[in-house]
Structure 1
Amino acid sequence: MRLFLTTSLGQIGAILRAASSTHLINSRSSAAMPRSFNQAACNTCRVRKVKCDEAMPVCQRCSKAQRYCDRTAPVPQFHNNTSREDAAKPDSTAASSAPFPAPTNPRRALQNPSIARYFHHYIAHIAPWYDLSDASSTFATRLPEASLERALPLSAILALSAVHMSRTSAPSARAAAEFYHGHCVRLLIELTAGDYGDEDAQGLALASVCLLRSYEILSEEVDPNRHLQGAYSLAAHRNPLNDYPGSGIRAAGFWNYLREDITFSLFRQCPLKIDLERMPLPVRHDTDQDRLNTVSLILGRIINACFSSTVTEEAWAFLFGMLEDWRSGLPSRFAPFAKTDRGLGLALPSIWMLRDCHAAALHYRLVSTTLLCTHATPERLPDLRALLDDDDDRAGVGITALDVAESLALDVCGVAFTTDAPAVQVNSFGPIAFCARFLRAEPARQELVRRLLACRRSIGWPVQRLVADLEAEWRVPTARATRDDE
């Protein structure tokens, strides 16, 4: 475990050094001789100013040092003219001249009314996104508590909260968002195992990068996926047999990373960054949120299988059995307590769930079934229909893969917008991105677009990318989206 701490903290520093390399290099250019820009070198070696052997996918220098070998394009970050020495001294002249209070003294920074408002906005409106599968509400409780004493989580919280407010209610908050994002990146770059040698600190780093992942999505029209790659170096090296069933900030960070990875994979139709094969499914579920975490692992395995290669009959049967075993063990409270096929004259069904985590669990079951549907033989379609709700009349109607996929897509959209909870809707964008491609009725498509655009105003999520992708899919024959209904 100690080796994991050293390795992953070094790797997260490397990815974030690359993300801010433009500023770091420019700020030193006046004191150093100019160097030729070698595009074949990895960003990690470039920022550390060492020679890269250009090996792919990981150069030898990064491999030996156990650092993240980053090859993403560096992007401009907030330029803070304060030196590292000055930044560590809150009372310095440089710090006092900054446009916002530095996070190096969290309690002092929070005395600023605007900063206090950002902090409270995170707790009240954003933390529930991250506590969707956590009965302890770690991101709403323990993470803010840690932020009262530590600059890293505070800067991540303020960056995300400010950028969210800039998209929903206060455009002027964008400057604060960029300021604290820049601070958070630098703090992560400087983080070492010697600085934080305990599990909570490891969790704070992972949780902070998970927040930066949402910052990244909210602040840019095109998803660059930089911080999700950075979080991988912290999440992928966990001990799967001992760590993930635990509680605390690190476990909460892992489950959030997994859900963010799932969302990205469903958007891009690509495998996860993390390999879940060695991670066994939990056999104990103390809370309903634990059952959501279990189906997250199942969906992750199905994604890796379906987007990596051709799914064999044996692999399909194994994945189907794993999903069916989980579904059959659910308490009855996980089922919708009410369902209307076309609610209030709308084109999407109304599906009422008892709790937000139940809605998210149903979403993951539906998208898992849809993925299996796209790789099912005709002989397997009755098995898929059995995964639909037992009291669902459509379970016996769909006779083709497209019929089943469209039925599942309607339910995915219905659950998201009937629940009408930001945490559920943010988590539903991945399932909607993959499943809604199979909607064939124009009224359902139009209602989905209308409701997604409404989310942009209320949640701040850049859903225009999702809408554009769906509209492009709808312009091509839907029959190509399945295995031609063999």
Structure 2
Amino acid sequence: MAPEKSPVLQVACLNCRKRHSKCSWTKPPGAGRTHEADASCDRCITLGETCTPGENTRFKHHSNELSPSDHQQWVKYPSRIRFIDETGDLEAIYNPDDNPSPTLGFAFDSPTGLSHSSAPTPQPAEPTRQLHAVTHQGRRGMLPHNSLFTDERSLSSVPLGSRLGLYSDAGALEGTCYPLQSMQEARLMKYYLEYMCTWFDLCDASRHFALEVPRRAMSCPTLLNAIFALSSRHLSIMHEQFDEYASTRYHQNCLHKLSSISNDSSALNNDDLLAATILLRTLEELDVPLLGTDHEGHLLGIQVFMNAQDSTAVATEMRKAAYWIGLRQEVTMAFASQRSIKISLSHSFINQSFSAGSDDVWANRIIVHCANVIEFSFGDGDQTASEYQTLRDYDDGWLRSRPSSFLPIAYAPADANSGHVSPQIVYMNHAVVIGVAHGILARSLLLCYDPTLPKLGPARMIAQQRREEEVQDEIRQLCGIALSNRGTIPAMFTASLGIASCGDRFSRDDERMALLDLLIKTETDHFWPTAGAQETLKRAWGWA
């Protein structure tokens, strides 16, 4: 006998519509579902979710004969109109009775990743763009750009003789661009100082990109334009009202200078231009989907700058800071593109020993190790068992030797029954978060590219299954770290990279939804491009 279909619902429910999944309804035997409010689709029943019917709205043409009266009083309206969504879809999103969806872990609201409450509130992880598009509007009010220069006064120079100025000779201040005279450029600089620079100084206690780069930009127009280009690009992604061409103009100003540098030019030793290239590489990454094509324009620039210096020469602290940021960028894009590392790993300041060092040093060591693992996995060399074991031994040595500051300051195991499919793991600082995350990324890759696995027989299947479980566990930890340390924004990028690469190995729907939700959070909260990865995973899971 064919299953009895509910005649009530004629369109997809909100949950299935948001996942782009096929929505069908079968009344469960003995369920006694006789009312429209009780109807649930098969997928919602399976996942234990509240099934909210979608609205079947149709617009029909009525007549062309209607015309206004000769005495019609027209209402004035502004040139820019906002449409407010008051449909049932939006009401369902804000319904407090909705059951929370599974999440990967606790999300803390405070910038440091710590909650003032002893019982953190789980954040819903429904993998839908609409949910996060709405909730993100609330988050935007907390971003610094909303509070920038709300009055309409024009900017000017500091009054002559004011104590706000410097007492230096006028000649000493010649060429200095501060105070900025453009309101838009002042806004872009403030946005960089309050938000964008937090993407960079993760393994740098001296915070060169937050403190030194803005100071150097006073006298380096190329570096100043790079700051403006990056800030305006990120703001234009966030707000349709922001000038989307501003970033291109500032970018072109940078290229006029950078494109004129020859391979043997002394300008290649200019740390300001290297820092500008790092910022422009970040801008470039914002336009590259996580699993898309990377044109590597400014990556080539970073290579030229870093390779221009002799490997034994003493690098400045600014140059070291730029290198470590550039290496993290390269690790991310090489992993996503499944290609070899294109930045040199043989500079004199790179220390891969296990001797005592700061958290920054230990984090950078494991990042270099991650780059070596990527080179082993995607490079042109043979994947020998001996080289594989060398990489595994380094990982084990790093884990045994790292300082006590790498211990979590708070931990809670995963609990799928309560909707948390990933552990809560809170760390002390940015360097520890980034170091542990890259260690997990490298470990996951080694598990996927293990040349020592049996090639034939039942032992192959057993070993492969064990590896699959280990990879899944590493990804759960990676996601838990990212969500538990939300103040370390690039940890979300690293977790998204792990999901995009290994998310197809998960089979449980609650875990898949939580993984998809983290990708959505990364794009809606920080506008890091994950849409391509989302669609790829949906197809791999049969959700699209």
Q: CA deviation at 1:346?
A: 2.5
State the match for 2:475 in structure 1. Answer: 409
The runs of 5 or more residues in structure 1 that have no matched partner are 1-103, 381-396, 477-486
Listed one character per residue, the Cα deviations across residues 304-344 of structure 1 (whole Å, up to 9, x for unaligned) are: 01112442111111111112111211112212222223365
**Mapped contact 1:342–1:349 kept (Cα < 8 A):** yes
The 8 Å contact of residues 129 and 426 in structure 1, kept in 2 or not, is answered as no
Which residue of 2 is the match for residue 356 of structure 1?
430
Q: Are 2:327 and 1:258 aligned? A: yes
Measure the CA separation in 2 of the matches of 1:198 and 1:301.
26
Query: Which segment is superposed worse, 312-321 or 104-113?
Result: 104-113
* Separation (CA, whole Å) in 1 of partners of 2:264 and 2:327: 27
Q: Which has the higher helix share?
A: 1
CA contact (8 A) 1:263 1:429 kept: no
Q: Residue type of the partner of 1:289?
A: D
Residue 204 of structure 1, aligned match among 272, 280, 283:
272
Residue 458 of structure 1, aligned match among 522, 525, 532: 525
250-259 or 304-313: which moved more? 304-313
Q: How far does residue 248 in structure 1 lie from its aligned partner after superposition?
A: 2.0
Listed one character per residue, the Cα deviations across residues 26-58 of structure 1 (whole Å, up to 9, x for unaligned) are xxxxxxxxxxxxxxxxxxxxxxxxxxxxxxxxx
Distance 1:275 1:211 in 2: 19
SS in 1 for 2:210: coil
> Are 1:146 and 2:216 matched, yes or no?
yes
Could you tell me whether the CA contact under 8 Å between 1:367 and 1:434 is conserved in 2? no
Change (3 A) 1:475 1:275: farther
Q: Which residue of 2 aligns with 1:119?
A: 189
Query: Which of 428, 431, 440 is equivalent to 1:366?
Result: 440
Maintained 8 Å contact 2:198/2:210: yes
CA contact (8 A) 1:337 1:353 kept: yes
Aligned twin of 1:301:
372
Give the Cα separation in 1 of the matches to 2:285 and 2:229: 12
Other-structure match for 1:234: 305
Letter of the 1:261 partner, please give it: E
Alignment of 1:430 with 2:504, yes or no, is: no
**Quick check: 137-146 or 351-360, which moved more?**
351-360
Q: 1:458 Cα shift?
A: 1.7
1:406–1:440 CA contact under 8 A, matched in 2 = no
Return the index of the structure with the highest Cα Rg.
2
User: Helix, strand or coil: the match of 2:518?
Assistant: helix
Aligned to 1:322: 394
Deviations 1:444-475 (A, max 9, x none): 12112122212212211111122233334545
Residue 30 of structure 1: aligned partner: none
Who is 1:185 aligned against? 255
Q: Indicate how the Cα distance of structure 1 residues 237 and 374 shifts in structure 2: closer, same or farther if over 3 A, else same.
A: farther
2:274 is matched by which residue type in structure 1? L
Query: What's the TM-score once normalised by structure 2's chain length?
Result: 0.59
Contact persistence 2:453–2:464 (CA under 8 A): no
Name which of structure 1's ranges 452-461 and 150-159 shifts more when overlaid on structure 2. Answer: 452-461
- Is the aligned partner of 1:160 residue 2:235? no
2:346 is equivalent to residue 272 of structure 1: no
Q: For 1:407, give the aligned amino acid.
A: D
Report if aligned partners of 1:106, 1:154 keep a CA contact under 8 Å in 2: no
Return the offset for 1:368: 1.2
Task: Say which SS state the counterpart of residue 140 (structure 1) adopts.
Answer: helix
Matched residue SS, 2:411: strand
TM-aligned CA distance change 1:171 to 1:261, over 3 Å = farther
Q: CA 1:325–1:351 in 2, change beyond 3 Å: closer, same or farther?
A: same
* Residue type of the alignment partner of 1:262: V
Are 2:407 and 1:335 aligned? yes
For residue 141 of structure 1, give the secondary structure of its aligned residue in structure 2. helix
Judging changes above 3 Å, is the alpha-carbon distance between structure 1 residues 292 and 215 closer, same or farther for their aligned structure 2 residues? same
Amino acid at match of 1:290: V
CA distance in 2, matches of 1:423, 1:110: 30
Indicate if the aligned counterparts of 1:408 and 1:435 stay in contact, CA closer than 8 A: no
Identical-pair percentage: 22
Give how far 1:242 is off.
Answer: 4.5
Could you tell me which amino acid in structure 1 is paired with residue 474 of structure 2?
L
Counterpart secondary structure, 2:177: helix
Cα 1:284–1:179 change in 2 (3 A) is: farther
8 A contact 1:367–1:435 mirrored in 2: no
Query: TM-score w.r.t. structure 1 length?
Result: 0.66
Structure 2 runs not aligned, ≥5 long: 1-173, 455-462
Give the secondary-structure state (helix, strand or coil) at the position aligned to 2:328: helix
